[in-house]
Amino acid sequence: MTMKVLGIHIGHDSSACLVVDGRIVADVAEERFTRIKHYAGWPLRSIAYCLSAGGLDIEDIDLVAVPSSGPYPELNHLLGLEGDRVEKWSTGRRALEFARRLMKRGTAKPPLYVKAYRLPDHAEIKHVDHHLAHAASAYYTSGFRGKQLIVTLDGAGDGFSTCVWRGQDGKIEPLYRLGTEASLGWFYSNVTEALGWWHGDGEGKTMGLAPYGDPQKVGAALDFFYPKFSGGELVEPHNFGRPYFWNANGAFQWHFDEAGEIQRLVERYGREHIAARAQDVLEEQVMELVLPWLGQEGTNHLSCAGGVFLNVKLNQRLWESGKLEYQHIYPNAGDGGLAVGAALYAYFEANPDAPIPGLEHLYLGPEYSNEEIKAILDARNLAYRLVDDVAGVGAQLLAAGKIVAWFQGRMESGPRALGNRSILMSANKPEYKDIINARVKFREPFRPFCPSLLTEYRESYLVNSREEPFMITSFDVQPEKRDKVPAVVHVDGTARPQTVRREINPCYWSLIHRFGELTGEYMILNTSFNIKGEPIICHPREAIRCFYDSGIDVLILGGVILEKGRL
């Protein structure tokens, strides 16, 4: 009998997903609809989309899974809960007390015009601990039922920051769990805030800046701001003090007073050197946690999730440790992936003998037909042309040095654009990186761009390569290729690639292949279709707006092409 699970996450990166018989059918973050990055409100439109994508009504749902060990009183209104099904406030629950103490808020109640989804009587509600949901998102997308170590690291969730688990025979068993006193995520975010960026968003900028600095110039100046691990255990906990939050138009930003102390170190030692030392600390401490546990468990299989594992240089360090035969990081590793994790856990708890599928793609969001796209363009009186061979036309434009916005098929879930909502350019000239940063993304010039390459050519471009379809791990670039694709090689000689398989995304594969036939390089620059500070584009309306409000040369929406000026 088919089992349909709706995952709902309300909080940082609110999201919803639909899991049917252990497979992810739809997954989307509410930010893509509200256009507020990291939106933390109710995922109303995400729920509506997931049900629609599955061809379902709420009455068809067997179970709702939420990634919190405490109750979600918001569900009372969202799902029309009554009587003994009402989600009630409770006391003594670590997660609930932690969250409500920080946010100091009561229960929200919507106006009458906000649609409720009345959950049928037969459907259950399953609460899944925050970090258990992270662990489930990693294990139940790994494609491997055998024994593996699972590690989840983030700032904090349900009162925990650091958890080690055993995944085996379809079940997840906790081995070691630590609270906020062990939060390497909070440490790295405090450095990020001290550098002038958003705690919970700008950590990738810290990582990108780090290779420009020398950690030795900082010495031991940061040693008083992070917890310390040795031999797989926390040996020196850290008191981060009181956390504060700031509601920025529906998205929460966090603050700790220690960020001010670190800011003074930034002024003393320099931004790039502090970033470099913070990156070193993160890698060193995670290695001290993870590698001993691999030995203790007698496994070389590792699956990871939680926001800390969005750090691709950390993931590279683990891969290059020589201790791993298999490494899987759930690509939507932050809180945006919690709905998926909760839903997968609920399904596999009920079906422990079910096969665990591998994650083949993240094309799980909305899509739009050529007819819908043309109607939107016609309503705006915009001139366009239709083409049958978008891959061939796109490849020619890229080979000519044009900036191409590429809008195809279902939108990606997670923080990375993977060839369906992307801005593309040739990687063959070093100045292309600066052109994209200045004319399109409007962001800091030091920030690198990622490559998409055909998986058949990955060994030609990457050292110690493997399939990496999700841009979640960086690799050293082969020395003889660094001058061939300089726009996607970072200052430290690494790149964060997406390997593209023909059977997964045939149109995107064909685009890169045709580009390779024209230029000799089967790799292109791929950055997310948005500008700095905005979520990735979801709808054709937003694609049109971004196209005309930036330096993009050509917009390809399905089989429709918009052009600026003369090409």
pLDDT per position as a tens digit, 351-363: 999 999 999 999 9
Q: What is the mean pLDDT of residues 423-448?
A: 94
Which of helix, strand or coil describes residue 22? coil
Same fold, 4-129 and 142-329: yes
Residues acting as catalytic residues: 12
Give bridge partners of residue 174 from the DSSP assignment: 165
Cα radius of gyration rounded to whole Å, the chain: 23
According to the model, what pLDDT value does residue 74 have? 84
The yes-or-no verdict on residue 137 having pLDDT over 60 is yes
According to the model, what pLDDT value does residue 1 have? 75
Q: What's the count of helices (H) and strands (E) in the chain, helices before strands?
A: 17, 24
142-329: which CATH topology? Nucleotidyltransferase; domain 5 (3.30.420)
For domain 4-129, the CATH class is alpha beta
Which of helix, strand or coil describes residue 302? strand
The yes-or-no verdict on residue 91 having pLDDT over 90 is no
According to the model, what pLDDT value does residue 90 have? 53
- Second CATH level (architecture) for the domain 370-563: Alpha-Beta Complex (3.90)
Q: What is the mean pLDDT of residues 277-286?
A: 98
**d(C-alpha 535, C-alpha 513), whole Å:** 29
CA distances 442 to 101, 445, 532, 556, Å, are 37, 9, 6, 21
The span from the first CA to the last CA of the chain, in angstroms, equals: 56
The yes-or-no verdict on residue 543 having pLDDT over 80 is yes
Is the CB of residue 129 less than 8 Å from the CB of residue 286?
Answer: no
According to the model, what pLDDT value does residue 83 have? 83
CA distances 330 to 138, 178, 349, 551, Å, are 5, 21, 19, 33
CB neighbours of residue 391 within 10 Å:
20
Q: What is the mean pLDDT of residues 462-484?
A: 97
Q: Above pLDDT 70, what percent of the chain?
A: 96
Which of helix, strand or coil describes residue 332? coil
Based on the number of CB atoms within 10 Å of its own CB, is 435 exposed (0-12), middle (13-18) or buried (19 or more)? middle
**d(C-alpha 129, C-alpha 159), whole Å:** 10
The yes-or-no verdict on residue 258 having pLDDT over 80 is yes
According to the model, what pLDDT value does residue 274 have? 98
**d(C-alpha 457, C-alpha 238), whole Å:** 45
For residue 490, which amino acid is it?
A: H
C-alpha closest to that of 15 among 31, 4, 35 = 31
Question: Domain locations in the chain?
Answer: 4-129, 142-329, 370-563
What pLDDT, in 10s, does the model give residues 512-530?
Answer: 999 999 999 999 999 999 9
Is the CB of residue 51 less than 8 Å from the CB of residue 323?
Answer: no
Is the CB of residue 528 less than 8 Å from the CB of residue 417?
Answer: yes
The yes-or-no verdict on residue 107 having pLDDT over 60 is no
Q: What is the mean pLDDT of residues 505-512?
A: 98
Q: What is the mean pLDDT of residues 387-412?
A: 98
Least confident of 111-115, 242-246, 460-464: 111-115
User: What is the average pLDDT value for the chain, to the nearest integer?
Assistant: 94
Q: What is the mean pLDDT of residues 112-121?
A: 86
Count Cα neighbours of 162 within 13 Å in the Cβ-side half-sphere: 24
Tokens of 96: 């609930």
Sign of CA dihedral 29, 142, 318, 423: negative
Q: What is the mean pLDDT of residues 37-53?
A: 96
DSSP track, 529-556: SS-TTSPPP-SHHHHHHHHHTS---EEE
CB neighbours of residue 247 within 10 Å:
11
Tokens of 288: 């001290």
The reported pTM is: 0.95
pLDDT category at 484 given cuts 50, 70, 90 is: very high
- The residue ranges of DSSP E strands in 287-434, in sequence order, are 301-305, 326-329, 385-386, 404-407, 421-426
Q: What is the mean pLDDT of residues 2-9?
A: 97
The yes-or-no verdict on residue 217 having pLDDT over 50 is yes
DSSP track, 412-450: BPSSS--SSEEEEEESSSTHHHHHHIIIII---TT---E
Helix (H) or strand (E) holding 76: helix 75-78
The yes-or-no verdict on residue 105 having pLDDT over 80 is no
**d(C-alpha 300, C-alpha 294), whole Å:** 6
Tokens of 517: 């036939």
Is the CB of residue 10 less than 8 Å from the CB of residue 42?
Answer: yes
According to the model, what pLDDT value does residue 89 have? 62
Q: What is the mean pLDDT of residues 272-291?
A: 98
According to the model, what pLDDT value does residue 566 have? 53
What pLDDT, in 10s, does the model give residues 321-334?
Answer: 999 999 999 999 99
